[in-house]
Amino acid sequence: MSSYDKYQTPLSTRYASQQMMTIFSARERASTWRQLWVWLAEAEKELGLPIPDEALEQMRAHVTVTDKAFDVAREYEAKFRHDVMAHVHAYGEDAPAAAGHIHLGATSCYVTDNADLIFQQKALDLILPKLAKVIKNLHGFALQYKDMPTLGFTHYQPAQLITVGKRAAQWIQELMMDLQDIETVRERLQFRGAQGTTGSQATFLELFDGDADKIVKLNEILCKKAGFPSTYPISTQTYTRKVDLRVANAVCALGATAQRICGDIRHLANLKMMEEPFSKTQIGSSAMAYKRNPMMSERITALGRKLARLPADFTATFENQWFERTLDDSAIRRMDIPEMFLLADSILLALDNVTDGLVIYPNVIRARLNQELPFMATESILMKLAAHGVSRQDAHEEIRVLSHQASDVVKNQGGANDLLERVKKTEFFKPVWGEIDSLVDPKLFIGNCPKIVEDYCNGEVAQALAKYKSSLDKASTAQLSI
């Protein structure tokens, strides 16, 4: 049967990277189980159990699961209806000298749970540099446009001016929060190790003739081999599913951030002030050839919507773990953990593309400023008149009348904002006629935006990115070679 006759997730066929797909592939999973069995046998031998060298040699030689081994495991699973035991027997066929030593003292969760922790560790290590790359893109963009005035919006209505760079700095700050949260869960990730069927370590205590110190040493060896600092102090049959929820809360928040950023970009595209990259041969619409739809930002929004809502699944799975373990976590975690990371990976790949080539249209930005600046300058006009001894209240009424007349031209007649021309023709404002044009320089209205951007980007952001310098340099080199 062709792959075209089976459902395949779009995450693997369209959006995610091969690196992330490999982490959660069937071969990686089964081979990691075998590696865990090798580590366990090596550690047990080191601590005095009689495991032959030949057994270890055969186990090491067959860590990578072949297609044939998968077929053998499938036959065993049909017989046993137990996937871990199916792979134990398949491994025993590949390494017959080790058949009686594989999985010694362990429960199924020794391989399934520890493997899941290894996969999450690898996946976190894969997405963190990608997130840093997106931040770096926006870091450069924010500094480049730190002093370019643009309309601020509150309630999606024109408000006080900010700068193009200041808005990008807000996006950076939200991504920085995601970076910090994901770094934290990565640093705090621990191993389950070898803990027995209910976390009592009873089987290992028996194997080591009651020597509890050897169990401590066993887990220290396993942690070192797997690259974890330590094991969780308390285990049941599984590591607590609170761990998955903790990771999900950090990783999935990226989905909300991505939606928020791309929502801004999509609105700005509608206003023709900013666009995502658009290739020369790209088709925006199958019917309307002139269109330049923000397709990538819309894709990110869709993927982000899915990712941001996954913590509800992890919450329910954690809530419903009774006592020392129930199996209702198994099927959903097989989907949710890979999907979480494939979604995050897909979003970051697309965000990198968008933020590495944002296009702005200064003339459109200035034209929209010109529509709103006359209204924003009215307060300055009032202050100038007061300095000439004119009553503030009288001036306010004069400005109010002219402002409504100008608004009528803009809203009902579709014309340009002519408020300043009206002010220049009204005798009441004669004392400040010579100052009117100087009052509508956009840079007078951006406040401290350039310094805010510089201080943030050259301080906290630069410090955070310094940790990823090596991977960011590699990413830049790779881009240049394309």
Angle at the Cα of 62 from the Cα atoms of 327 and 224, rounded to 5 degrees: 65
Domain boundary among 307, 338, 362: 362
Helix (H) or strand (E) run with residue 466 in it: helix 462-466
Asked whether residue 369 is domain-assigned, the answer is: no
Same domain (yes/no): 354, 386: no
Cα–chain center distance at 351: 9
Q: Are 320 and 277 in contact (CB under 8 A)?
A: no
- Amino acid 278: pLDDT: 79
- 315 and 170 in a single domain? The answer is yes
Report in angstroms the alpha-carbon separations of 350 from 87, 373, 471: 37, 35, 18
Say whether both 60 and 183 belong to one domain.
no
Question: Would residue 19 count as lying in a domain?
Answer: yes
Residue 199 domain-assigned (yes or no) = yes
In this structure, the answer to whether residues 208 and 259 fall within a common structural domain is: yes
User: HSE on the CB side for 336, CA within 13 Å?
Assistant: 24
The reply to whether 71 and 180 lie within a common domain is: no
Q: 168 and 238, same structural domain?
A: yes
User: CATH number, domain at 221?
Assistant: 1.20.200.10
Q: Which helix (H) or strand (E) holds 383?
A: helix 378-387
Nearest to 343 by CA among 311, 316, 295: 311
Whether 49 and 186 map to the same domain: the answer is no
Q: How far is Cα 229 from Cα 189, in angstroms, rounded to an integer? A: 8
By annotation, the residues acting in catalysis are 155, 285
Tell me, yes or no, whether 401 lies in a domain. yes
Shared domain for 75 and 128, answered yes or no, is no
CA 19 – CA 345 distance, rounded (Å): 10
3-state helix, strand, coil in the chain (%, to 5): 70, 5, 25
Give the span between the Cα atoms of 401 and 405, in whole angstroms. 6
| 239 domain residue, yes or no | yes
**Each residue's pLDDT expressed in tens, for the chain with a length of 482 residues:** 788 888 999 999 999 999 999 999 999 999 999 999 999 999 999 999 999 999 999 999 999 999 999 999 999 999 999 999 999 999 999 999 999 999 999 999 999 999 999 999 999 999 999 999 999 999 999 999 999 999 999 999 998 999 999 999 999 999 999 999 999 999 999 999 999 999 999 999 999 999 999 999 999 999 999 999 999 999 999 999 999 999 999 999 999 999 999 999 999 999 999 999 977 666 666 566 566 789 999 999 999 999 999 999 999 999 999 999 999 999 999 999 999 999 999 999 999 999 999 999 999 999 999 998 888 888 888 888 999 999 999 999 999 999 999 999 988 999 889 998 999 999 999 999 988 888 889 999 999 999 999 999 999 999 999 999 999 988 765 554 33
Q: How far apart are CA 136 and CA 404, in angstroms?
A: 45
pLDDT for 481 equals 37
Domain that holds residue 390: 378-435
- Please check whether residue 442 is in contact with residue 373, taking contact to mean a CB–CB distance below 8 angstroms: yes
Give domain status of residue 118, yes or no.
yes
225-241 burial, b for 16+ CB within 10 Å, e for fewer? bbebeebbeebbbbbbb
**Same domain, yes or no, for 275 and 180?**
yes
* 67: CATH: 1.10.275.10
Domain membership flag for residue 103: no
Count of domains forming the chain = 3
pLDDT given for residue 482 in this prediction: 33
Claim to verify: residue 18 and residue 164 sit in the same structural domain: no
Whether 331 is covered by a domain: the verdict is: yes
Whether the pTM exceeds 0.75: the reply is yes
Looking at the fold, whether 356 and 424 belong to one and the same domain comes out as no
Whole-number Cα distances in Å, 67 to 31, 62, 253: 12, 12, 38
Do 345 and 400 lie in a common domain? no
Q: Which tokens hold the place of 45?
A: 């031998």
